[in-house]
Every structure is written in structure tokens, then in C-alpha cells.
């Protein structure tokens, strides 16, 4: 399962929970007189952001808080937390992939599953971050909440479940506003009343003669000069600066754009398999960056650092510092994201017009009126921070505070559309250029695809380069080459299947027995957006592919891949039920993937003669055997 914009916080080899003293969160809590610790399992940065907000709010309830990454902590110390009076551990945990914990929570999750620690006296609360369009909705948080109770810990407040397909911000605010009264009751404490708006980072401005130019970050993810002095292994903190060798348009009309891009990874020592993902670090639009500088009256070339006021925190800066405002806005912060309510709350303090201030304050509240206004003004109108400052003209926050509040710019993930059997030195990507008009008449553009569309190789010029790394996936071809496969991938959902077909065709050419390859592909119009048409039809002619095509807008009644799949339920059951075949789904999680799942269940019942309960069990078995795989996004 793939969520667009997924972000891996750290990649360390899994193993025993580390025991070095610097990882002692108990020691840090005691040294700084804290009783609240908020752990996060974060893949896109949202859980980390929520954890930070909870830790900050603890001050209102005389509970000094600390944010902690489980991967950087000795989690066995949870057994000792009870020794700190009125202590509380809150877990903000995202579910990722096929119901998996995030990379930075994997070791902790495994420890809880395999061990039997006595957590008597541990007070806890859990908030989960998930997406209802995925089958394994909030599985990690649900398990964690139940497991902690089984290990004799005390649940202070009920499990909160956030749904990113609806309004996860609303879910979080509603939950935390009920959490604090429960905490007050448990520990017999009271709110201090007014919230305190405390900056987490302090600003240090550097003069040009104070810092050598070579010590200023210019877009590196973690290590200074890492994009100039490239050293493997390449991963989330150390991406490879890959050359764009090919960047061409796949659509032949219809008003939309779809790119075929080939990244050169020769010399990187990176390896990939068909079905893996590539993470691309994008650069924000320079016009938006310039506009944000204008709206805040800032010198974008000024060099600055933001330094954490919490000396115990492992996160010394929100992003690599020192750097210039231009670099921070281009490479480090998410300026096109819709600002969450806590950002609006802080921005309100910089309004000179009272009505502007009240509007921002209202949107940051949990009231029905405030929620409705936030939904219409920010969410429905797709206003980013630039648009909000343009439309609330008396709000003029300092740029350093905006840089502190905005989330970190995340890599964008794409299913790789090639096979190393055919292309060992290049990684191919198939991506629709995101562009749409908002309710305010503005045009919003996707960060990564807009940048990629503007960076094409030109004769006589050096090729553009982009930082990237490979992320392994569970979306894999069967071990036995003779196993038949069914692939359902409308639009750019075709991407991983292009890699699968290249792989299977290469294997057949080498003399291996290869099972049937059945592909369901759909688009709007054969003449406009039938991508890789020549390749697919060549595979069909060669006997490498059975191709089922749906062109939704070529007739009065729309026809989709799901209609064709339903018509071929006999073949579907034969492959899955009689021939031990595999089925793969790639594309839209919300509608297409759900429909395909239901069609499979129907085929198992009608063609396989199973009851509804037996069909559900059969499908569950397919999933557990990795014979049903989904690489979907919402």
C-alpha cells in the first residue's frame, strides 16, 4: 500500500532495542522535571507534529512535556516511568502500508509483540493516524492500545482514531480536547487557564562574515555537502543525486499531462526490484517562495538558524541550519500544504485588524462554527499559507515563525515503472502532473510533478539532477515464474505493472516457464491518454499478455476496468481458485480498489461456490499468502 507523500523518518537496521545511556528518556525527564512524554510513529511527519502540539499543551496543565522518537529511546524504560510522579505516556502512532508500524516505531512494536514487560503503573493514552480507504485502518494504534492494557498499563483516556481521508485535524482536536479533562481528573490537577504561546525555536540571524559559506546548508537533507560529496549507502537521510536522462510526455491530448521519466542510478550501488518505490525530494515553486518573502517583507537571502529552546530535545533544529530563508522555503518546509489549526492560532497574534484576528482564532477552535469556517475557508478552498496571507491582509507574521510552524517538506513516492532485468541502471517513473483550479480561482500545482515537468534534458546542456532513494516494497511478483497473475491498474496505476511485464517477458526470453499475465488497464480516451500503448500491444502480439482495455469516455455509458473484471469472473476465479494465481491492484484506494475487492469476493462466491463468510476467509488467506496485493493511494 502506498500513500502519496509518505515519509520515512529514519532508516536503521532493526534489531535489539538499544541500551546506550543517551537514549534514556527517564534520565531526561528527571533532569528537566517533566512528567509527560509523547512518543510518535511517523511516516509523513503528521504524527510527529501532533506529538509536538500535545507536549506543548501539557504546560497548561502543569505537565511539562517532551516529544520522543521511539527509535532513539530505550523503550524498555517504560517499566520505570511509574517512578516519576503523575507521569503520562501518550503515543501518536500512524499505520502505514499493509497495517504496519512506521519505520521509526518498528523495533518498539516488535518488542511489545514478542516480549512480556510488566507495565503496571504506566499511565497511557493512544491516538492513531490512519486512512479509512485502506483496509488495515489504524491497525497499529488499535493493537498498541490493547497491548498496553494487556501488559497491565492504565489507560487514562480512550483510544483516538484519526482519519486522513476525512479530516484528521478535526479528529485530533476533538480527541485531545477530551483527553485533558480526563488527565486532570486522573492526576487531580487543573488547567492554568490561558494557553501560552511559546516559541519552540529561537531565531539566530547570521551576518555573512560570521559564517563561512561552506558551512551554510543549501538543500542537503541531513549532512552538509552530502549532495556534492556523494557517499553510499543512499537512503532517506542521504539521497542520491540522480541525473534525469529521459523526461517525455505520454499523453497525446485531452488537456492533462503525464510524464515518463528515467533517472540514472548507475554508480550509486542502489538496487531495485520491480514493484519497489522511488522517493523523490522535490523543490517548491520559486514564484511561491518569492511571494512568501514579499508578504512577510523578508530578505530571502538572509542566513539564519532556528535553535530549539528545549535543551533536552534530540531535535536541535526543525531543519538543517544555518541556511537562508530562500533555501528553507525551497527545500525544507511544506509551503503548499493546507495549514492546520494550530498554525492559524499562532498567526492570529500577528493581525493588526481585530476582525482578521477573530477569524483566525475562530478557525483554530473546536466549536462547530470554527470547524465549519476552517473547512470552507482552508480545506474546500485549498488555501495554503501564501493564500491565507494574501486574503487576510493584516496578518504579517515574521518569516522565521512561519518556517518554525510549517511541516517539513516530504519526499514524494512513486511506484517504479521498470524492471532491473531490462533497465538495471535506470529507474523509471510514470506520473500525472498535478494542477487544478481552486474555488478562489487560483491554480494549485503539485510540488514534485511541477518541478519535474520543468526539468527536461536539453541538447548541449548538462542533465537536471534530483535527490532520490529507493524504498523496498511488499508489492512483488510470485517466486514461481509459472504462477499466473492478474493486474488491475487504470491510469498511472499501470506503472508497477510495466515493470512486472518487462520482468516476465525477460524471463520468458531466457527460457523460463512464465504463467499467464492478465492486465486490466483503463483511461478516458484511446487517442489521448492510453499510455505505453505500443509496448502493451507488442506484449500482446508476442503472447506475453492478455490485455483488457476500458476507455471510459468513448461511449455514452462509462466503462471502467471494474466492469471488465466483473464480466470475466470465471477466469478470475480460475486463476485465483484453481491455479494458485496472484492478483495485484494499483491506483485509487477509495473507489477502484474497494470495487475490485468486492468483485473478487463475488467471484469467489458465485464461481467458487463459497458462502459470504467463506469468501471473506478465502480472500484473507490470499492476503496472508501475499497472493492479493494492493499498491494504492487516496
522 carries a ligand binding annotation: no
Task: State the pLDDT at residue 405.
Answer: 95
Residue 14 counted as domain residue: no
**Is the C-alpha dihedral spanning 306, 311, 313, 315 positive or negative?**
positive
269 and 299 housed in the same domain: no
pLDDT at 410 over 50: yes
Which of 226, 305, 324, 415 is labelled catalytic? 415
Q: Can 586 be counted among the known catalytic residues? A: yes
pLDDT at 5 over 80: no
pLDDT at 134 over 90: no
Here the cell at position 421 is 532485468
Task: State the pLDDT at residue 311.
Answer: 82
What's the CATH number where 253 sits? 2.40.30.10
Cβ-based burial of 612 (10 A; exposed 0-12, middle 13-18, buried ≥19): exposed
Asked whether 319 and 333 are in contact (CB, 8 A), the reply is: yes
pLDDT at 145 over 90: yes
Scan for cell 488491475, then name that residue.
488
551 and 465 housed in the same domain: no
170 carries a ligand binding annotation: no
Here the cell at position 540 is 500482446
Strands of the sheet with 465-471, listed across from one edge:
412-415, 277-280, 465-471, 240-249, 258-264, 426-432
Scan for cell 527536461, then name that residue.
456
Among 384, 410, 436, where does a domain finish? 410
Residues 6+ apart with CB under 8 A from 38: 51, 52, 54, 55, 65, 66, 67, 68, 89, 90, 91, 92
Task: State the pLDDT at residue 194.
Answer: 65
Of residues 530 and 198, more confidence is placed in 530
- HSE (side-chain half, CA atoms, 13 Å) at 443: 7
Domains in the chain: how many in total? 4
Round to whole Å and give the CA distance between 311 and 20.
19
83 and 176 housed in the same domain: yes
**CA nearest neighbour of 120 among 85, 152, 73:** 152
Q: What are phi and psi of 447, to 5 degrees?
A: -65, -55
390: enclosing H helix or E strand:
helix 385-391
Residues 6+ apart with CB under 8 A from 140: 41, 93, 94, 95, 96, 99, 100, 101, 102, 105, 109, 128
53 and 182 housed in the same domain: yes
Question: Any idea which of 133-142, 193-202, 356-365 has the lowest mean pLDDT?
Answer: 193-202
> Would you list the DSSP string of 339-382?
PPHHHHHHHHTTBSSHHHHHHHHHHTSSSHHHHHHHIIIIIITT
Residue 166 counted as domain residue: yes
Task: State the pLDDT at residue 526.
Answer: 94
Mean pLDDT of the chain: 93
What's the CATH number where 618 sits? 3.40.50.80
Round to whole Å and give the CA distance between 100 and 139.
8
State the average pLDDT over residues 514-541. 97
pLDDT tens track for 238-278: 999 999 999 999 999 888 999 999 999 999 999 999 999 99
Name the pairing type of β-strands 412-415 and 88-96. unpaired
Cα-Cα-Cα-Cα torsion 139, 586, 419, 280, nearest 10 degrees, comes to -70
Cβ-based burial of 241 (10 A; exposed 0-12, middle 13-18, buried ≥19): middle
427 and 462 housed in the same domain: yes
Q: What are phi and psi of 508, to 5 degrees?
A: -65, -40
Round to whole Å and give the CA distance between 71 and 40.
10
**Count of C-beta atoms within a 10 Å radius of residue 209:** 6
Q: Helix 139-150 crosses helix 106-114 at what angle (to 10 degrees)? A: 40
What's the CATH number where 161 sits? 3.40.50.360
299 carries a ligand binding annotation: no
pLDDT tens track for 79-123: 999 999 999 999 999 998 778 899 899 999 999 999 999 999 999
Cis peptide upstream of residue 233 (ω within 30 degrees of 0): yes
Residue 169 counted as domain residue: yes
0.75 exceeded by pTM: yes
404 and 434 housed in the same domain: no
Q: What are phi and psi of 229, to 5 degrees?
A: -100, 85
Cα R_g (the chain), whole angstroms: 26
State the average pLDDT over residues 139-158. 97
Q: Can 631 be counted among the known catalytic residues? A: yes
Asked whether 467 and 279 are in contact (CB, 8 A), the reply is: no
Here the cell at position 59 is 504546560
Please give, one letter per residue, the 3-state secondary structure of 117-185: CCCCCCEEEEEEEECCCCCCCCHHHHHHHHHHHHCCCEECCCCEEEECCCCHHHHHHHHHHHHHHHHHH
30 and 160 housed in the same domain: yes
Task: State the pLDDT at residue 8.
Answer: 33
**Is the C-alpha dihedral spanning 531, 535, 537, 540 positive or negative?**
negative
Q: What are phi and psi of 185, to 5 degrees?
A: -65, -45
320 and 349 housed in the same domain: yes
319 carries a ligand binding annotation: no
Here the cell at position 468 is 532520490
Residue 5 counted as domain residue: no
Among 151, 171, 187, where does a domain finish? 187
366 and 333 housed in the same domain: yes
129 carries a ligand binding annotation: yes
**CA nearest neighbour of 503 among 244, 279, 276, 278:** 276
- What percent of the chain lies above the pLDDT cut of 90? 85
45 carries a ligand binding annotation: yes
What's the CATH number where 379 sits? 1.20.990.10
Task: State the pLDDT at residue 197.
Answer: 76
Residues 6+ apart with CB under 8 A from 359: 373, 377, 392
274 and 296 housed in the same domain: no
Round to whole Å and give the CA distance between 163 and 602.
28
Asked whether 41 and 91 are in contact (CB, 8 A), the reply is: yes
Banded pLDDT at 62 (limits 50, 70, 90): confident
Round to whole Å and give the CA distance between 478 and 571.
19
490 and 623 housed in the same domain: yes
Residue 216 counted as domain residue: no
225 carries a ligand binding annotation: no
pLDDT at 435 over 70: yes
Which of 268, 569, 586, 629 is labelled catalytic? 586
Among 451, 473, 495, where does a domain finish? 473
Residue 16 counted as domain residue: no
42 and 153 housed in the same domain: yes
514 carries a ligand binding annotation: no
Asked whether 195 and 341 are in contact (CB, 8 A), the reply is: no
Q: Can 633 be counted among the known catalytic residues? A: yes
State the average pLDDT over residues 514-519. 98
Cis peptide upstream of residue 322 (ω within 30 degrees of 0): yes
Which of 69, 276, 400, 631 is labelled catalytic? 631
Round to whole Å and give the CA distance between 118 and 209.
56
**Count of C-beta atoms within a 10 Å radius of residue 310:** 18
Q: Which domain holds residue 63?
A: 25-187
- What percent of the chain lies above the pLDDT cut of 70? 96
The three-state secondary structure class of 290 is: helix
111: enclosing H helix or E strand:
helix 106-114
Residue 13 counted as domain residue: no
Scan for cell 487531580, then name that residue.
188
Name the pairing type of β-strands 258-264 and 443-445. unpaired
Residue 572 counted as domain residue: yes
Amino acid at each position: 500500500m502506498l500513500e502519496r507523500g509518505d515519509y520515512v523518518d529514519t532508516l536503521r537496521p532493526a534489531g535489539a532495542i538499544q541500551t546506550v545511556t543517551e537514549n534514556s528518556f527517564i534520565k531526561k525527564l528527571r533532569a528537566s522535571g517533566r512528567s509527560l512524554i509523547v512518543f510518535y510513529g511517523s511516516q509523513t511527519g503528521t504524527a510527529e507534529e501532533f506529538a509536538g502540539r500535545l507536549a506543548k499543551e501539557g504546560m497548561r496543565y502543569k505537565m511539562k512535556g517532551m516529544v520522543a522518537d521511539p527509535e532513539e529511546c530505550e523503550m524498555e524504560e517504560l517499566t520505570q516511568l511509574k517512578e516519576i510522579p503523575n507521569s503520562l505516556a501518550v503515543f501518536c502512532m500512524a499505520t502505514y502500508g499493509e497495517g504496519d508500524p512506521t519505520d521509526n516505531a518498528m523495533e518498539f512494536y516488535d518488542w511489545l509483540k514478542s516480549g512480556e514487560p510488566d507495565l503496571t503503573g504506566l499511565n497511557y493514552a493512544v491516538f492513531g493516524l490512519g486512512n479509512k480507504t485502506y483496509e488495515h485502518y489504524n491497525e497499529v494504534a488499535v493493537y498498541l492500545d490493547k497491548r498496553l492494557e494487556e501488559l497491565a498499563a492504565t489507560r487514562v483516556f480512550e483510544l483516538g482514531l484519526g482519519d486522513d481521508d476525512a479530516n484528521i485535524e478535526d479528529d485530533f482536536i476533538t480527541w485531545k480536547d477530551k483527553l485533558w479533562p480526563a488527565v486532570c481528573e486522573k492526576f487531580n490537577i487543573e488547567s492554568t487557564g490561558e494557553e501560552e504561546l511559546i516559541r519552540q525555536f529561537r531565531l539566530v540571524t547570521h551576518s555573512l562574515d560570521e559564517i563561512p559559506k561552506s558551512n551554510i546548508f543549501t538543500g542537503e537533507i541531513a549532512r552538509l555537502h552530502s549532495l556534492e560529496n556523494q557517499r553510499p549507502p543512499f537512503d532517506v537521510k542521504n539521497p542520491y543525486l540522480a541525473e534525469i536522462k529521459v523526461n517525455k510526455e505520454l499523453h497525446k491530448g485531452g488537456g492533462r499531462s503525464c510524464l515518463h521519466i528515467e533517472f540514472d542510478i548507475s554508480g550509486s550501488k542502489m538496487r531495485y526490484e520491480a514493484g519497489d518505490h522511488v522517493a523523490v525530494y522535490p523543490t517548491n515553486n520559486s514564484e511561491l517562495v518569492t511571494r512568501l518573502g514579499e508578504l512577510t517583507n523578508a530578505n530571502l537571502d538572509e542566513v539564519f538558524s532556528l535553535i530549539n529552546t528545549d535543551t533536552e530535545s534530540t531535535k536541535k533544529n526543525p531543519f538543517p541550519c544555518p541556511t537562508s530563508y530562500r533555501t528553507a522555503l525551497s527545500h525544507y518546509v511544506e509551503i503548499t500544504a493546507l495549514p492546520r489549526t494550530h498554525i492559524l492560532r499562532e498567526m492570529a497574534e500577528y493581525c493588526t485588524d481585530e476582525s482578521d484576528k477573530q477569524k483566525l482564532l475562530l478557525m483554530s477552535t473546536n466549536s462547530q462554527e470554527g470547524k465549519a469556517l476552517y473547512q470552507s475557508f482552508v480545506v474546500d478552498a485549498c488555501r495554503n499559507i501564501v493564500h491565507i496571507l494574501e486574503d487576510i491582509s493584516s496578518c504579517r507574521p515574521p518569516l522565521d515563525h512561519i518556517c518554525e510552524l510549517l511541516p517539513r517538506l516530504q519526499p514524494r513516492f512513486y511506484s517504479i515503472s521498470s524492471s532491473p532485468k531490462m533497465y538495471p541502471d535506470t529507474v523509471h517513473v510514470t506520473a500525472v502532473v498535478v494542477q487544478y483550479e481552486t474555488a478562489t480561482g487560483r491554480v494549485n500545482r503539485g510540488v514534485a510533478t511541477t518541478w519535474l515537468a520543468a526539468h527536461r534534458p536539453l541538447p548541449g546542456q548538462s542533465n537536471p539532477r534530483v535527490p532520490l532513494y529507493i524504498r523496498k516494497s511488499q508489492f512483488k511478483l510470485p517466486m514461481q515464474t509459472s504462477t499466473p497473475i492478474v493486474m488491475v491498474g487504470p491510469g498511472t496505476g499501470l506503472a508497477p505493472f510495466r515493470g512486472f511485464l518487462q520482468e516476465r517477458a525477460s524471463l520468458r526470453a531466457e527460457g523460463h516457464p512464465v504463467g499467464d499475465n492478465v492486465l486490466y488497464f483503463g483511461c478516458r480516451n484511446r487517442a489521448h491518454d492510453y499510455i505505453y500503448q505500443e509496448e502493451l500491444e507488442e506484449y500482446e502480439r508476442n503472447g506475453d499478455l492478455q490485455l483488457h482495455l476500458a476507455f471510459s469516455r468513448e461511449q455514452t455509458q462509462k466503462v471502467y476496468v471494474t466492469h471488465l473484471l466483473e464480466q470475466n469472473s470465471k477466469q478470475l476465479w480460475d486463476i485465483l481458485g484453481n491455479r494458485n494465481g496472484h492478483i495485484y491492484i494499483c491506483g485509487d484506494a477509495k473507489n477502484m480498489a474497494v470495487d475490485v475487492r468486492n468483485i473478487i469476493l463475488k467471484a469467489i462466491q458465485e464461481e467458487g461456490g463459497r458462502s459470504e463468510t467463506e469468501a471473506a476467509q478465502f480472500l484473507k488467506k490470499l492476503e496472508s499468502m501475499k497472493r492479493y496485493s494492493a499498491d494504492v493511494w487516496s
